[in-house]
Structure 1
Amino acid sequence: MTYRSTIDTARARLALCPAAIALAGVLASPAQAQSEKPASGDDSANAIVVTALRRDTTVQDTPMAITALTGETLTNAGVTNITDYAKFVPGLNITDSGPGQRRVSLRGVRASGEATVGVYYDDVPITGSVGVSSDAAGRTADLTLFDVDRIEVLRGPQGTLYGASSMGGAIRVLYNKPTQEYEGKIEGQVQTTKGGGFGYFVNGMVNVPIVKDVLAARAILYRRDFDGYIDNTYLNKKNVNDYKATGGRLMLRFTPTSNFTLDLTGQFENTDAVSSTWNPEVGTYKSAAQVILPYTDKSQLYSANAVWELGPVAITSITGYQHRKSAYAADDSYYIASYRNTDDCASYVNSDGSACSSGQLSDYYDYIDSLGPAAIYYPGSTRDFTQELRVSSTGESAIDWTIGGFYQNRDNTVTSEDALADAVSGQIIFPNELIYRRHIYDKLRQFAVFGEATWHPVSTVSLTAGLRYFDYKKTVSGYTDIAWELIGASASSLTSVDSSEDGSLLKFNAAWEPNANVMVYATASQGFRPGGANQVIGLSSELVAYKSDSLWNYEVGTKLNLLDNLLTLNLAAYQIDWDNIQVRGRTTNGAYSFMSNAGAARIRGLEAEAFVKPLQGLTLNLSGTYLDAKLTRDQVSDVVVAAGKAGDRLPYIPHFSGSASAEYRQPVSDSLDFFARLDVNYVGSSYSELRPTNAYRVKIDDYAMANARIGVELSASDTGIYLFVNNIFDATAINYAARSSTANSYSATSAAPRTIGINLRHAF
């Protein structure tokens, strides 16, 4: 089908009350928190250069809601992954279900299916593994952060320049590139967690010029090893959720001429961990899982980025290839045990459904008992090739423009298998002793052409229009080679289903910058993500395919530099209208989940960010978000679990969230500086399900967390030693919780308890 939204739908909705934005001024963020150290005499944060618009602009000159976190800020705050920096970004929410199972959302745009936030490493998009339930968003890849130049978080849909799966926004992680200088960096950390064990990490970087002014190399290696803090009371094991990761990057920069640059990057990360899910009804940080649930991930990412500057234009080519092999598991023991009853015996043993005799019941119970403990084990792989080619104007002119094309070829394979585990150790038995196995193959081919142009009729005004045309095809196929009649899973031969769609996305932006200290902008922009097809046993034909969902974002904002650049204040207000939402359904026997479309939602929000330098050496950052995310139409599909009604709050989206940080650096001698930093973030309460009447709806309580670092640094180099405490007040910060009808199904994941450690770093 073809989806085309018209400009008429935007009409008066851009008239979001500017006064509402001012109310957000009581909130505030580290949007500009500390770029590279300012040039001499420039102590403002306004010189941070970003490339979100595919050309160089500063944060304050970019007419969109954007948060830029520099490498210095990340290091000073002890950031190592996306969950660490999410608290600094208004509207950025991470539903962390454990290693390899992180769901990223911006501005309340959160749902199952393809990702709603595009994640890029050096402009190469990475994708999560689709899994058996077509839920790539729930397994977003997250590589360890070290030697990073900056992170740009673009809030609001970025459909024209960034395409599918950026309907809530986009995150760009940009690494430091090889230079023509000999340099190196090493960082180490040791820590201990309350109620848990010991942990450490070691990071190293070396940069070497190979051919003067032509070729340079940069190599990074890191190792992380953390004992867990969750105790399994069923298996009588402590600290089961340990985590190990080893990774690195090799980067080459080739500059044969002054106007041509080629960056080649190869990186890998191997993870070996255990699920960090626990059961609140058993106890805080306690699990009653009958199986130890492993997670393994071997990720590789390769890229070739070439830029050729030809006077008034620049040609950019970005080639990326991702290969990810992963395996994760879920405890299936309690679900299998739920079949241990007389009714299921009757339906399974006797074709006429008559009651089982005592002998039949005894044999049936023995059969059910022989199936546990067991885990659903999901080994799979993802291969994703992307190519983008674009041409952009350079320099200053009346019209800035970018045109380009994008191609993606993604192949996912995954096996869903029920495997027996050892009853004493809880370890999955290898080689697997299988009860059931199903194979699924998911292929996505996507093509797009796009363009965006900005006209400057006068020096203080810019008018932008963007368009993207997309065309995709998705093919899902699968078969079952080990049947399990107990749950209705018969053996089946290979079958395939297709889904395809084309359409267009629009963007309009107007900005007024009367002087260097004030900008006001308004935006209307679209976002979408692909639909697909389910490969589910016994699913009726009308539910096999599901469509893309899409949204319009209407936004007004302002960026202010006040008090001679001592205060930077950015405000935004927006309304998002989201249609045909992709939602999770479940088969009538509860065994399989699948994707469907149902309902519509409206999200209204206010964001505020502030950067303040009240005195020499002290920097304050504040941020805040208010979100009102509700359904505006009933989810009419009768196959959707806990179908929502108009007015229901969207799950896992708090009304309020915010953060504050204070960083202080002061010389104590000619060669030594004192350093201190305090970070506090607050996340409001939310719910796990739409309907207030849903018996399985879980309230996720609000929480506040505080982290502190204190240390000394050598003034002449990037060398320091720091003592840190994370989660100072030992808050139980649950970010995900869910419940079902199965015993022991009430599960949660959370931030770690209080953690104390020492961090050292040295640059040479």
Structure 2
Amino acid sequence: MRTILKFSRLLGCTATIALSFGLADAAHAQSADAVPVAAGAAADEPPGDIVVTATRRETSLQKTPMAITALSGQTLTNAGVTNIADYAKFVPSLRIQDNGPGQRRVSLRGVQTSGEATVGVYYDDTPVTGSVGVSSDAAGRTADFTLFDVNRIEVLRGPQGTLYGASSMGGAIRVILNKPTQEYEGKVELQIADTKGGGFGYFVQGMVNVPLVKDLVAVRAVLYRRDSDGYIDNTYLGRKNTNDYTATGGRVMVRVTPSSSLTIDGSAMFENTDAYSASWNPAVGDYKAASQVMLPYTDRSQIYNLTGKLDLGFASLTSISSYQHRRSAYAADDSYYIASYRTATRCAAYVNASTGGGACSADQLTNYFGYIDGLSPAAIYYPGSTKDFTQEVRLSSIGTNLFDWTVGGFYQNRRNDVTSEDARADKATGDIITPNQIFYRREIFDKLEQFAAFGEGTFHPTPTIGLTAGIRYFDYSKTVEGFTDIAWTLIGAPARPLSTVESSENGTLLKFNASWQATPDTMFYATASQGFRPGGANQVIGLSADLTPYRSDSLWNYEIGSKFTLLDRKLTLNLAAYQIDWTNIQVSGRTTNGAFSFLSNAGAARIRGVEAEAFLRPMRGLQLTLSGNYIDPKLTEDQVNESVVAAGRAGDRIPFIPNWSGAVGAEYTTPVSNSLDFFARADVNYVGSSYSEFRPTNVYRVKIGAYSLTNLRIGFDLKQSDAGVYLFVNNLFDEVAINRASQSSTANSYSATSAAPRTIGLNVRKSF
């Protein structure tokens, strides 16, 4: 804990000193009517006035005793944010492993491994789940919708087990969408861009809001389309700009207000994505790939929601019914893995297995090599679907009372179906041959059903002190079924009939928090909170019985924090320090032939870190922001149990988590005339180095280098016509910013994903 406090003081002093330089220069230019801004708020919002609902009740951001970042819709628009990877740079400890659309792994505070998600992602109050896949790794395929017409984003750092339940052990992200209003309004936004070494890109998006029945019914509709030509060249196939991407989506929202105390919101969202893999091979060259197969990705995601809110006077009753349906398919190049079987030793083991594995004759070797060569090029193709129904009912007190409280219940029924099949591809083009020429197929059906009851209450013995306790009881069961109908004995995958494995678990999660509002502009708090994510059952060919089930993992988070509003409310400074003790970690293992991955439980970790956020308005029209964090994520136990010996040992650093990261930003607006404002914004994001494996001695360990990304936007706001035109440059200095990299024993396995090269574009907006 001394280490945490030392880093907290160091980071806090650093933030204050850095901002003081800007303050000193601007002090004489401040005017009496300068309006400070909130954390991530628009320019006319004072610090702390932004209202959040992270506690399931409306509270002021700066008086909510937790580490939370709130980004307003205006900030997202000004910064050109369109997806989760764009806004992650503004949030301390938020890390995105970006493997392309629909394949993003989200983590907070270094809590990251394979398995169910460690961060809950919500659109309004609808939890969005990832697709499980054949390796039970839902966290690696988090669903993602384009961000447009967003009210705000709330990022809750630290476990949110009591109110948000499973898969929020690292924290939760809440995207709050704009709701229908009783006003006619609309907006449209157009953008064109060109990427260095790549092709042309554009998007067009629009919104219209119409009151259908005065004071009773209103409708809000959003529609968008995005297209990018890509920037990765495949040298093996001789194809350029292979990672092209297209997304079309939208939503319709209806709000019905039968009375002043009852609001009913219904919504339907969809997004259709067609893309190709954004991975490339650093050994071949920057933004160069050598896969033998083109790797398509398709995603058809839909979310339907019905939410009712009833004001009972003393409390608010809320019911949320949601249904998510996602059909997706992705692919991986299996050609190089198949080629690893093209050896005399493999021939002996496969062809002469029945006679003890003796050496192959010349004819046997010729026939065997012909068989192997006839399989490639090939892709592992994973089509699947996710259907997820959730229902939550909660009752929350209104306002601030001697005792504030929330109680509720939650139910989830999630079904995942996924196919794993090897299909041949065209040698010349790399395209998967259609109809698919399949030589191996396995089907898996995964069902998760869970119930939970939760409650959280805050007692105020004095107007400035809050004492909070929360509890959540959970009970879940998981059923996994599967069969193999097209065998591939080469990799030890014979035909198997339908089999079923089950697991279940119940337990409780706890939270304790104490806060002190020392002055109207100063708060201190301390938290001890618990988080977990469900276990399950593997459905892997030939896996032994002791490896079939895996249990939930859990953690405790111990945290101290402070929130300050200083300098006549021109500076907001938030600090937090924490220690996370994580036990029974879900780890990924592989079968002895390397063909299948599975989950087990092994090891423990301790994560220590500090976070800082600062927002300064030194003069009218100028806003400065600073955020940063230090994370020290290490194993405290070897990742070993009776069934699996995983890679990590005590003292090893958790992969893909940089020790240091941070961002600085500046936004400036000034009048040019009565009808024209000049706008400029600069953002610099720094991400420290990390590693792809636990063990420093692992020959396949890849160092992922540190990088800084600089984005600039300048333009003009046409106030009278409520429009704007802006020129932007992303990745100004054209850094090769690798986000994730890994390699294995298979040839051409050293792969990476990264930020796009320098991109220059024009953005035009119009509201009416």
Q: Which band: TM-score by shorter chain?
A: over 0.9
> Would you say the 8 A contact 1:686–1:699 is kept in 2?
yes
Name the CA shift for 1:542/1:638 in 2 (closer, same or farther; >3 Å): closer
Q: What pairs up with 1:38-77 in 2 under 5 angstroms? A: 38=44, 44-77=46-79
> Would you say the 8 A contact 2:725–2:762 is kept in 1?
yes
Query: Partner residue of 1:207?
Result: 209
Query: Partner residue of 1:222?
Result: 224
> Would you say the 8 A contact 1:567–1:610 is kept in 2?
yes
Say whether residues 1:579 and 2:566 are aligned partners.
no
Name the CA shift for 1:420/1:639 in 2 (closer, same or farther; >3 Å): farther
The number of equivalent residue pairs is 747
Say whether residues 1:309 and 2:311 are aligned partners.
yes
Say whether residues 1:23 and 2:6 are aligned partners.
no
Pick from 22, 31, 41 the counterpart of residue 35 of structure 1. Answer: 41
Query: Partner residue of 2:441?
Result: 437
Say whether residues 1:619 and 2:606 are aligned partners.
no
The one-letter amino acid paired with 1:166 is: S
Name the CA shift for 1:642/1:470 in 2 (closer, same or farther; >3 Å): closer
Query: Partner residue of 1:371?
Result: 375
Please give the alpha-carbon distance, in whole angstroms, between the structure 1 residues aligned to 2:180 and 2:47: 25
The one-letter amino acid paired with 2:708 is: A
Pick from 545, 552, 562 the counterpart of residue 556 of structure 2. Answer: 552
Shift of 1:283: 0.4
Please give the alpha-carbon distance, in whole angstroms, between the structure 2 residues aligned to 1:659 and 1:27: 13
Q: Aligned to 1:678, what secondary structure does the other structure show?
A: strand
Q: What pairs up with 1:443-462 in 2 under 5 angstroms? A: 443-462=447-466
The one-letter amino acid paired with 2:249 is: G
Please give the alpha-carbon distance, in whole angstroms, between the structure 2 residues aligned to 1:674 and 1:83: 27
The one-letter amino acid paired with 2:103 is: Q
> Would you say the 8 A contact 2:309–2:319 is kept in 1?
yes
> Would you say the 8 A contact 2:37–2:570 is kept in 1?
no
Unaligned residue ranges in structure 2 (runs of 5+): 20-35
Say whether residues 1:167 and 2:169 are aligned partners.
yes
> Would you say the 8 A contact 2:588–2:646 is kept in 1?
no
> Would you say the 8 A contact 1:265–1:302 is kept in 2?
yes
Query: Partner residue of 1:300?
Result: 302
Bigger shift: 630-639 or 257-266? Answer: 630-639
Please give the alpha-carbon distance, in whole angstroms, between the structure 1 residues aligned to 2:7 and 2:695: 29
Say whether residues 1:343 and 2:327 are aligned partners.
no
> Would you say the 8 A contact 1:603–1:628 is kept in 2?
yes
Query: Deviations along 1:423-463, whole A, 9 cap, x unmatched?
Result: 00100011110010000000000000000000000001000
Shift of 1:717: 5.2
Identity within the alignment, %: 70
Query: Partner residue of 2:255?
Result: 253
Q: Aligned to 1:728, what secondary structure does the other structure show?
A: coil
Pick from 572, 589, 592 the counterpart of residue 588 of structure 1. Answer: 592
The one-letter amino acid paired with 2:415 is: D
Say whether residues 1:687 and 2:687 are aligned partners.
no
Q: Aligned to 1:643, what secondary structure does the other structure show?
A: coil
Q: What pairs up with 1:355-434 in 2 under 5 angstroms? A: 355-434=359-438
Say whether residues 1:601 and 2:605 are aligned partners.
yes
Query: Deviations along 1:568-604, whole A, 9 cap, x unmatched?
Result: 1000000000000000000000000000001000000
Please give the alpha-carbon distance, in whole angstroms, between the structure 2 residues aligned to 1:31 and 1:610: 11
Please give the alpha-carbon distance, in whole angstroms, between the structure 1 residues aligned to 2:736 and 2:317: 50
The one-letter amino acid paired with 2:154 is: E
Q: Aligned to 1:668, what secondary structure does the other structure show?
A: strand
Please give the alpha-carbon distance, in whole angstroms, between the structure 1 residues aligned to 2:200 and 2:406: 50
> Would you say the 8 A contact 1:188–1:760 is kept in 2?
yes
> Would you say the 8 A contact 1:106–1:168 is kept in 2?
yes
Query: Deviations along 1:325-353, whole A, 9 cap, x unmatched?
Result: 00000000000000000000001111220
Shift of 1:36: 4.5
Q: What pairs up with 1:519-530 in 2 under 5 angstroms? A: 519-530=523-534
The one-letter amino acid paired with 1:334 is: Y
Shift of 1:718: 3.7
Please give the alpha-carbon distance, in whole angstroms, between the structure 2 residues aligned to 1:31 and 1:694: 48
Q: Aligned to 1:361, what secondary structure does the other structure show?
A: helix
Query: Partner residue of 1:282?
Result: 284
Please give the alpha-carbon distance, in whole angstroms, between the structure 2 residues aligned to 1:533 and 1:242: 36
Name the CA shift for 1:721/1:386 in 2 (closer, same or farther; >3 Å): same
> Would you say the 8 A contact 2:118–2:168 is kept in 1?
yes
Please give the alpha-carbon distance, in whole angstroms, between the structure 1 residues aligned to 2:637 and 2:137: 23
Query: Partner residue of 1:7?
Result: none
Please give the alpha-carbon distance, in whole angstroms, between the structure 2 residues aligned to 1:410 and 1:376: 25
Query: Partner residue of 2:187?
Result: 185
Q: Aligned to 2:90, what secondary structure does the other structure show?
A: coil
Shift of 1:515: 1.4
The one-letter amino acid paired with 1:234 is: Y
The one-letter amino acid paired with 2:212 is: I
Query: Partner residue of 2:29?
Result: none
> Would you say the 8 A contact 2:4–2:578 is kept in 1?
no
Please give the alpha-carbon distance, in whole angstroms, between the structure 2 residues aligned to 1:685 and 1:163: 32
Shift of 1:641: 6.8
> Would you say the 8 A contact 1:314–1:391 is kept in 2?
yes
Pick from 711, 714, 719 the counterpart of residue 710 of structure 1. Answer: 714
CA RMSD of aligned residues (A): 1.3
The one-letter amino acid paired with 1:429 is: I
Please give the alpha-carbon distance, in whole angstroms, between the structure 1 residues aligned to 2:110 and 2:258: 46
The one-letter amino acid paired with 1:293 is: L
> Would you say the 8 A contact 1:27–1:622 is kept in 2?
no
The one-letter amino acid paired with 1:406 is: F
> Would you say the 8 A contact 2:101–2:144 is kept in 1?
no
Q: Aligned to 1:321, what secondary structure does the other structure show?
A: strand
